C-alpha cells in the first residue's frame, strides 16, 4: 500500500503542478484581457414557442486571447471567480449587453428582453444592485427587460442574504431565472422560498427528451413551473422533434442551435428578423 501511495504521489504531483501553472497563467492572461478588450459578447435568440417570435436574447461571454487562442467561458468564468475578477467581468457584461440591447431594439423597432448570467459570487453586496440599476439607466432600457440567470447552487448554499438580494432585484422590476434547472440539486423547496419568475430546463434533459425518463422530467418541470406561476424556457433545443415535444407540453420559450447559436451584436438584427419570419 505504501509503495502504491508513493507511486500515486509521483504520478499526480507533476500533473497538479501543471494544472496549477495553467490556472495561474490563465488568471494572469484574463486579468490583462479585461483591461485590453479581448472579451466580447455573443447573443443567443430566445423564441416564443407559440408565436415563433424572437422575444429575447441571452448574452454569452467570449474570450479570444492573443497567446491562448479562444478560451471557453466554462474555463475562464471559474478562473475569474477564484481570482477576484468576477465583479469586474460581470459589470462589463452587464453594461455592454444593456447598451447592445438598446441599439438592436432601436434597429428592430420593438423591445427585446436581455438575459445575463450571474455568478453566485457576484451577488454579494449592494454595489452590484447599484451597478445593475446604473447599467439599465445608462442604456435607457426598462428594468422589466432584464433577466438575471442564476444557478440552483446559489439557492442551496446561501440563505438570508440571497433572498434579500433577489427581493431587491425583483423590486427593481428585474426577472429572476433559475438556470440549468434539474441539474445536480434535488431540493425543490427553494422554488417557493426564493423570488423566482422563470425556470430554464437544463439542456441535458432536452437533448435526451426522446427517452421516457427525461421526457417525464421535462413534463414534470413544465407542470410544476406553471402551477407556481413561473415561465418555462428550454435550452439546448437542436432538433424539430425536441421543439415539437416542448410545444405539445406547453413549454413557453426555447433557445438552441435549432434557431441560432450566439451571434455578435452586429448580426442580431438580421438573425432576429430572419427567425421571426420563419
Q: What is the dihedral of CA 152, 233, 257, 278, to 10 degrees?
A: -170
Q: One symbol per residue from 180 to 209: x for binding ligand C2E (CB under 6 A), - otherwise; what is it?
A: x----------------------x------
- Angle 68-74-80 from CA coordinates, rounded to 5°: 75
Judged by CB under 5 A, does residue 152 bind Ca ion?
Answer: no
- Taking Cα atoms as reference points, which of 274, 262, 240 lies closest to residue 49? 240
Minimum distance between the CB of residue 42 and Ca ion, rounded to whole angstroms?
Answer: 13
Residue number with CB closer to ligand C2E (44 or 175): 44
Q: Residue 55, Cβ neighbours under 10 Å: how many?
A: 19
- Cell numbers that stand for 18 in this block: 501543471
The answer to whether 77 and 86 have CB atoms below 8 angstroms apart is yes
Stretch that binds ligand C2E, among 30-38, 47-55, 124-132, 231-239 (CB under 6 A): 231-239
Residue number with CB closer to Ca ion (143 or 153): 153
Judged by CB under 5 A, does residue 38 bind Ca ion?
Answer: no
Stretch that binds Ca ion, among 142-150, 182-190, 213-221, 250-258 (CB under 5 A): 142-150
Residue number with CB closer to ligand C2E (238 or 269): 238
Which residue among 262, 265, 268, 271 contacts ligand C2E (CB under 6 A)? 262
52 vs 86, 92, 261, 262, CA distance in Å?
A: 35, 31, 16, 18
Residue number with CB closer to ligand C2E (104 or 116): 116
Distance between CA atoms of residues 59 and 255, nearest Å? 12
Amino acid at each position: 500500500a505504501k509503495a502504491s501511495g508513493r507511486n500515486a504521489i509521483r504520478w499526480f504531483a507533476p500533473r497538479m503542478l501543471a494544472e496549477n501553472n495553467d490556472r495561474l497563467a490563465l488568471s494572469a492572461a484574463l486579468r490583462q484581457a479585461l483591461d485590453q478588450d479581448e472579451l466580447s459578447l455573443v447573443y443567443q435568440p430566445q423564441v416564443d414557442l407559440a408565436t415563433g417570435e424572437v422575444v429575447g436574447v441571452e448574452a454569452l461571454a467570449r474570450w479570444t486571447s492573443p497567446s491562448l487562442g479562444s478560451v471557453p467561458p466554462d474555463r475562464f468564468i471559474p478562473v475569474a471567480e477564484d481570482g477576484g475578477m468576477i465583479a469586474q467581468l460581470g459589470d462589463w457584461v452587464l453594461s455592454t449587453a444593456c447598451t447592445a440591447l438598446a441599439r438592436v431594439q432601436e434597429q428592430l423597432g420593438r423591445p427585446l428582453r436581455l438575459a445575463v448570467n450571474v455568478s453566485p459570487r457576484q451577488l454579494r453586496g449592494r454595489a452590484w444592485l447599484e451597478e445593475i440599476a446604473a447599467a439599465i439607466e445608462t442604456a435607457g432600457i426598462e428594468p422589466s427587460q432584464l433577466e438575471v440567470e442564476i444557478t440552483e447552487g446559489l439557492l442551496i448554499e446561501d440563505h438570508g442574504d440571497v433572498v434579500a438580494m433577489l427581493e431587491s432585484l425583483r423590486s427593481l422590476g428585474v426577472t429572476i431565472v433559475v438556470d440549468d434547472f434539474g441539474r445536480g440539486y434535488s431540493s425543490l423547496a427553494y422554488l417557493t422560498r426564493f423570488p423566482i419568475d422563470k425556470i430554464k430546463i437544463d439542456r441535458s434533459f432536452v437533448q435526451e427528451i426522446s427517452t421516457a425518463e427525461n421526457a417525464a422530467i421535462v413534463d414534470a418541470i413544465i407542470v410544476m413551473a406553471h402551477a407556481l406561476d413561473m415561465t418555462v424556457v428550454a435550452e439546448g433545443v437542436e432538433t424539430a422533434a425536441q421543439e415539437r415535444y416542448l410545444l405539445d407540453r406547453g413549454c413557453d420559450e426555447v433557445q438552441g442551435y435549432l434557431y441560432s447559436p450566439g451571434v455578435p451584436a452586429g448580426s442580431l438584427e438580421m438573425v432576429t428578423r430572419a427567425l421571426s419570419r420563419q
